[in-house]
Chain A
Amino acid sequence: MSEILKVRNLKKYYPVSSGTLHAVDDVSFDLNYGETLGIVGESGCGKSTLGKTVLRLINPTSGEINFEGKDITVIDNREFTALRPQMQMIFQDPMSSLNPRMSVSQQIAEPLRIYKVFKNSADLEKRVLELMDTVGLARRYVETYPHELDGGRRQRIGVARALALNPKLIVCDEPVSALDVLIQAQILNLLQDLQKERGLSYMFITHNLSVVKHISNKICVMYLGQVIEQCETKELFNKTLHPYTQALLSAIPVPSLKNRRERIILKGELTSPINPKDNCRFAPRCLYAREECFSSCPKLQDIGGNHQVACHFVKEINKL
């Protein structure tokens, strides 16, 4: 068994006053041991909801989440509590995800305390210091509070907390979006080192395509709750097939004056995820949209090489 995580037809709907909000709509993917799956999309496309649902921080409306072969949507709470240490999360904004009234050592010790890993406090302290070394936080910060630290160090606390219980899977929800590029590079390197050392599997959620290209083995591109393109990272960047992914890629400002790519400027913005009709959700903004796009929703189809695209006219557009 090579998949640590197998998600099938996962849905999360929220009832709102004007109908049902389809935050995550029929998403399926696999994540292998020791690999990184990148989830990209614009704000509001449901990528954070997906991340939280996979860890059951939010309960899904329907679908299966198989963690190491066990469907965690159906197991009871006691069984799930035992599984929880193996799946952790790193949050986007280290300032709001840390408790401002807890010192660094308390923050990192908290998961260890909750799971009563150590019987005496000397062992606990030792483990906290070990974790600080692992994530590259100098030991002199052990009694400081989050507000005294800069963004990069705060995020390192977030990583240390996630690592405390020796997880197998970490969901990283925009872990570097709030950081400057030099600090971003430090944290990305740290995450990669940890993956190599401990064989961690990451689900890496971000809106930054260059970051996701750097760190992921596989990528899912999401649009309004649905996965519209999914394949290996190399394949995605060499053979971008979905018109949305193409536009997304072309819209990234490239920090170079050479090989500038032609820009596809999309019209309009994300449409509402409330009561979506049964059409291609990208159709209103798509350059190639035709009648059929507005009447039926394209399914993810494999077009070879494990490259899945949800578009009626993918072959025509890309002349395959």
Chain B
Amino acid sequence: MSDKVLEVKNLIVHYETDDGVAEAVNDISFSIGAGETVGLVGETGAGKTTIALTIMGLLPRPAGHVISGEILLDGKNIVETSRSRFRQRQNDRMMRKLRGNDISMIFQDPMSALNPVLPVGEQIAEVISLHNKVSKAEAVKRAMEMMELVGISAERYKNYPHEFSGGMKQRIVIAIALACNPRVLIADEPTTALDVTIQAQVLQLMNGLKQKFNTALLMITHDLGVVADICDKCGVVYAGQMVEYGTIEHIFNNPSHPYTKALFNALPSLDKDVERLESIPGLMSDPMALPPDCSFRERCNAKCDKCIPKDPPLFELEPGHFVRCYHFAPSDWEVTSGTAGEKEASK
């Protein structure tokens, strides 16, 4: 696998609201290489989208704050943890150059991601002329090429978003995201709003383009099927933490964290018949009041004596397969042997 293009290290993001602090992302680390796809799965409110927005430098202000951690794009840090307005503005300026050019994002709802009063072609050309010194005619030409690439006739350059169907709009969004050949592409639930047959088309398209441009792809989804389809590695996010991380073979053939298992068991399957779906009671802990111990403990059906009232670190189950559960603590592991953060940093 090639070098790491994007590296997220011990990222902690909080939303500071009038009602208190919501700990949206707690110590997330992962990395993506060129041409690699990493999937993040989890329920609504697990913090998946916050991770994406932080990488893009689009955290809502003034509530969102990166408390600590690093996001390295080609080895260069792109997040600002300082609260100095000067530093933040500096970072914003830098991000504006990177966004669309080096990192791009595909949003969930293509209708609200596109400008309804601008022809779609112009929206693609806009990105191209913003980041490249090209003439208007050249930008238009390249925009038309992008449209053909995503399977939309260039004759529709002057059409408005409402004249396209959902799947076509998502293709336009993909064209915009890929127009400047970014090194990193973040796709936040790109097919959730689409029908399955259209979803299959869009996933096929994304997979093809990813290989063609050798883009690092971060796929955020709640659909384990989509992960199995196009990802190389997968992280399961729960209450802002990575509870399990590994290659898709690790996750799908040997799901180990009780939460990951619960996710698989709750899915109605096409292959086997089950009388009753297994579900776990309760809800994800409120990010405003996270428990001091394992955040999944309350709903866990595999609680045991090993579960101490302390947040578990990630344990390496097999090379490259990490699980945040005391169940998998090596026998020589002791509580005193370091906090979660230190353990991870040393891995």
Instruction: Name A's B-contacting residues (CB within 8 A).
Output: 42-43, 150-152, 180-186, 188-189, 192, 207, 209-211, 213-215, 237, 247-257, 259, 263, 265-266, 269-270
Q: CB-CB < 8 A to A248: which residues of B?
A: 196-197
Q: Please determine whether A182 and B262 come into contact, CB atoms closer than 8 angstroms.
A: yes
In the complex, 22 of the A-B residue pairs with CB atoms within 8 angstroms, ordered by the A residue number, are: A180-B43, A183-B279, A185-B266, A185-B268, A210-B269, A210-B270, A213-B270, A214-B268, A248-B196, A248-B197, A250-B200, A252-B270, A254-B270, A255-B224, A255-B228, A256-B228, A256-B252, A256-B271, A257-B248, A257-B249, A269-B165, A269-B168
Task: Give the residue name and chain of the B residue nearest to A181 (CB).
Answer: B266
> B331 within 8 Å of A by Cβ?
no
Q: Closest CB-CB distance, B7 to chain A, in whole Å?
A: 26
Known: A182-B262, A253-B226. A150 touches B283 (CB 8 A): yes
Of B197, B267, B269, B279, the residue contacting A251 (CB under 8 A) is B197
Q: Closest CB-CB distance, A41 to chain B, in whole Å?
A: 9
Please measure, in the bound complex, the distance between the C-alpha atom of A303 and the C-alpha atom of B43, giving whole angstroms: 43
Q: Closest CB-CB distance, B171 to chain A, in whole Å?
A: 11
Q: CB-CB < 8 A to A151: which residues of B?
A: 44
Please classify the interface of chain A as helix (H, G, I), strand (E, B), loop, or mixed, using the class held by over half of its residues: helix
Of A185, A251, A256, the residue contacting B277 (CB under 8 A) is A185
Q: CB-CB < 8 A to B248: which residues of A?
A: 257
> B88 within 8 Å of A by Cβ?
no
> B115 within 8 Å of A by Cβ?
no
Please classify the interface of chain B as helix (H, G, I), strand (E, B), loop, or mixed, using the class held by over half of its residues: helix
Please measure, in the bound complex, the distance between the C-alpha atom of A213 and the C-alpha atom of B274, giving whole angstroms: 10
Q: Please determine whether B263 and A257 come into contact, CB atoms closer than 8 angstroms.
A: no
Q: Closest CB-CB distance, A276 to chain B, in whole Å?
A: 17
Q: Please determine whether A251 and B199 come into contact, CB atoms closer than 8 angstroms.
A: yes
Of A209, A213, A255, the residue contacting B227 (CB under 8 A) is A255
Instruction: Name B's A-contacting residues (CB within 8 A).
Output: 43-44, 165-168, 195-201, 203-204, 222-229, 248-249, 252-253, 262-271, 274, 276-280, 283
Per CB-CB distance, the 4 closest pairs between chain A and chain B, nearest first, are A253-B225, A255-B224, A214-B268, A185-B279
Q: CB-CB < 8 A to A254: which residues of B?
A: 225, 228, 270-271
Tell me the total A-B contact number using a CB cutoff of 8 A: 111
Q: CB-CB < 8 A to A183: which residues of B?
A: 279
Given contacts A253-B199, A269-B165, 13 further A-B contacts (CB under 8 A): A42-B195, A180-B222, A181-B222, A182-B263, A186-B279, A188-B277, A251-B196, A252-B196, A253-B200, A254-B228, A255-B224, A255-B228, A259-B271
Of A150, A181, A188, A266, the residue contacting B197 (CB under 8 A) is A266
Q: Please determine whether B267 and A255 come into contact, CB atoms closer than 8 angstroms.
A: yes
Q: CB-CB < 8 A to B274: which residues of A?
A: 214
Q: Please determine whether B270 and A182 come into contact, CB atoms closer than 8 angstroms.
A: no
Q: Closest CB-CB distance, B88 to chain A, in whole Å?
A: 33
Q: CB-CB < 8 A to A207: which residues of B?
A: 195-196
Which of A184, A209, A214, A250 neighbours the largest number of chain B CB atoms within 10 Å of its CB?
A214
Q: Please determine whether B270 and A253 come into contact, CB atoms closer than 8 angstroms.
A: no
Q: Closest CB-CB distance, B50 to chain A, in whole Å?
A: 17
Task: Give the residue name and chain of the A residue nearest to B264 (CB).
Answer: A255
Q: CB-CB < 8 A to A152: which residues of B?
A: 283
Q: Please determine whether A182 and B44 come into contact, CB atoms closer than 8 angstroms.
A: no
Q: Please determine whether A237 and B197 come into contact, CB atoms closer than 8 angstroms.
A: no
Known: A181-B266, A182-B266. A263 touches B200 (CB 8 A): yes
Q: Please determine whether B225 and A180 come into contact, CB atoms closer than 8 angstroms.
A: no
Task: Give the residue name and chain of the A residue nearest to B248 (CB).
Answer: A257
Q: Closest CB-CB distance, A35 to chain B, in whole Å?
A: 16
Of B252, B268, B276, the residue contacting A257 (CB under 8 A) is B252
Q: CB-CB < 8 A to B165: which residues of A?
A: 269-270
Task: Give the residue name and chain of the B residue nearest to A211 (CB).
Answer: B268
Task: Give the residue name and chain of the A residue nearest to B230 (CB).
Answer: A253
Q: CB-CB < 8 A to B43: which residues of A?
A: 180-182
Q: Please determine whether A266 and B201 come into contact, CB atoms closer than 8 angstroms.
A: yes
Please measure, in the bound complex, the distance between the C-alpha atom of A210 and the C-alpha atom of B229, giving whole angstroms: 16
Known: A210-B270, A214-B274, A257-B248. A182 touches B224 (CB 8 A): no
Please measure, in the bound complex, the distance between the C-alpha atom of A306 and the C-alpha atom of B117, giving whole angstroms: 51
Q: Closest CB-CB distance, B16 to chain A, in whole Å?
A: 22
Q: Please determine whether A181 and B263 come into contact, CB atoms closer than 8 angstroms.
A: yes
Q: CB-CB < 8 A to B168: which residues of A?
A: 269
Q: CB-CB < 8 A to B201: which residues of A?
A: 265-266
Task: Give the residue name and chain of the B residue nearest to A193 (CB).
Answer: B276
Please measure, in the bound complex, the distance between the C-alpha atom of A249 and the C-alpha atom of B265, giving whole angstroms: 20
Q: CB-CB < 8 A to B167: which residues of A?
A: 269
Q: Closest CB-CB distance, A100 to chain B, in whole Å?
A: 19
Please measure, in the bound complex, the distance between the C-alpha atom of A211 and the C-alpha atom of B274, giving whole angstroms: 11
Q: CB-CB < 8 A to A251: which residues of B?
A: 196-197, 199-200
Task: Give the residue name and chain of the B residue nearest to A259 (CB).
Answer: B271
Q: CB-CB < 8 A to B203: which residues of A?
A: 253
Please measure, in the bound complex, the distance between the C-alpha atom of A184 and the C-alpha atom of B280, giving whole angstroms: 11
Q: CB-CB < 8 A to B224: which residues of A?
A: 255
Q: Closest CB-CB distance, B142 to chain A, in whole Å?
A: 26
Please measure, in the bound complex, the distance between the C-alpha atom of A189 and the C-alpha atom of B283, giving whole angstroms: 16
Please measure, in the bound complex, the distance between the C-alpha atom of A247 and the C-alpha atom of B197, giving whole angstroms: 7
Q: Closest CB-CB distance, B255 to chain A, in whole Å?
A: 10
Q: CB-CB < 8 A to B196: which residues of A?
A: 42, 207, 209, 248, 251-252
Task: Give the residue name and chain of the A residue nearest to B205 (CB).
Answer: A265
Known: A185-B277, A247-B197. A253 touches B228 (CB 8 A): yes
